[in-house]
Structure 1
């Protein structure tokens, strides 16, 4: 079993449902410092934001980072505005970054993947200032967010998906995938093909080529 897989399994235990995760921040034993509405990128569609929640007790050391990517069929949804849903990670010493990305109505694929890669680059550039460990970035998402996490983790830097203004994205240490689609190719989906996929990757031959490019399963060797 690979180190990547082992780390992923361990992290998935932290991510398991927790009744206490709905508790308010004041009930947690961990003091958290939050920075909200940080603009990490400004594409043509407008500024994109992230929130950074960091254990206050870890100011003098580099902390691993959990990047939370919301779902919504690439077309809707918004980043979580708090950190208590990820309390287990915070208590384990993780900083939590919840990110906004461009939806399919704003920009088609691979825009959202570029945004995730940009956040990874932002973490690397901000590591010293914010006390973050860019070598321990964990991407976590649900549904479309999990799909974006997988693609962003497996994409090669040579593919040109790291926006110049963001800096190169470091390699993800692990991915926590909650039911993310792994194969968007029309011939693989068959009757399960969803209009939301076409709205994100495009139609026709170009859309089919993009669907293959955005299918994590094609990147597994």
Structure 2
């Protein structure tokens, strides 16, 4: 009996190891002919940590390309750039892609992730010429916590309060933001009346009860008349990030007169949309970017 138990235990351990190895395998990104890849480009260094991103660059024999900066989600405490993919629609339009990693809350609490995303954005602006990127056609996007960071990266514009690791004299301005079911109000997600998240409290760290600090790292605080055009996508049955956050964020955009679009996915949960709906959303996103002049 004991031998059977040991054999069964070893079999389970083997299955678990295989699953872990499978999860560790990065997704293969297929790019069109003429594209080049630069993997694990270090965009910043902070206290021994290297901030890395993967670049997929459009052919340099053409005019400078638009770029989409992609930021993964995961409640600021999990996720990695290697798990990201699905940029074919951008490649077909001649975009470069920058796929960014950032410090998770276990390594450094708020506002570290915002600092890192700003550094990645500044790196793109500072190196635009050598990367053959059009600084007037920078798009920043993400899902969930990644959307929160995309919003912060773009809405801060030339407010350099989180740029101490990457000081610059360049103008920082993105052409558009793609917000997919993102957190607009960090304090509300931590303590609000709709849905609350331990991830938010973990990310806030020792400053979890400081309302002013939470406001300073919340996108809704920074929407103003000069803000970049933004498309917001959110399922109205999201069990993780309150749909109401996007409703309020969109109203703020409208009140400020900023070009924006709010796409509600009826019955949609936290990014778990049907393949047909994802195709439809991709088309809407690309049409929005076309409407703001990012691509033809």
Fold agreement, TM-score > 0.5 = yes
State the match for 1:153 in structure 2: 154
SS of 1:185's equivalent in the other structure is helix
The superposition leaves residues 146-165 of structure 1 with CA deviations (integer Å, 9 ceiling, x where unpaired) of: 01111111125344212354
1:23 and 1:44 map into 2 onto residues whose CA distance is 30
2:166 and 2:139 map into 1 onto residues whose CA distance is 22
Q: Is 1:178 the counterpart of 2:175 in the alignment?
A: no
SS of 2:146's equivalent in the other structure is helix
2:171 and 2:97 map into 1 onto residues whose CA distance is 17
State the match for 2:102 in structure 1: 101
Note the C-alpha offset of 1:214: 1.5
State the match for 1:125 in structure 2: 126
Task: State the TM-score, normalizing by the size of structure 1.
Answer: 0.79
Q: 1:108 to 1:42 in 2, by over 3 A?
A: same
State the match for 1:64 in structure 2: 66
Give the length in aligned residue pairs: 196
Contact 1:65 1:94 in 2 (8 A): yes
The structure with higher relative contact order (CA 8 Å, sep 6+) is 1
The superposition leaves residues 108-166 of structure 1 with CA deviations (integer Å, 9 ceiling, x where unpaired) of: 11111111111111111111111111221101101000011111111253442123545
Q: Is 1:198 the counterpart of 2:201 in the alignment?
A: yes
State the match for 1:18 in structure 2: none
Contact 2:140 2:178 in 1 (8 A): yes
1:155 and 1:87 map into 2 onto residues whose CA distance is 28
Task: State the TM-score, normalizing by the size of structure 2.
Answer: 0.60
The list of structure 1 runs, each at least 4 consecutive aligned residues, that deviate by more than 4 angstroms after superposition, is: 203-206
State the match for 1:37 in structure 2: 40
Report the structure number with the largest CA radius of gyration: 2
State the match for 2:221 in structure 1: 218
The superposition leaves residues 12-40 of structure 1 with CA deviations (integer Å, 9 ceiling, x where unpaired) of: xxxxxxxxxx9972xx6544210111111
State the match for 2:23 in structure 1: none
Contact 1:146 1:178 in 2 (8 A): yes
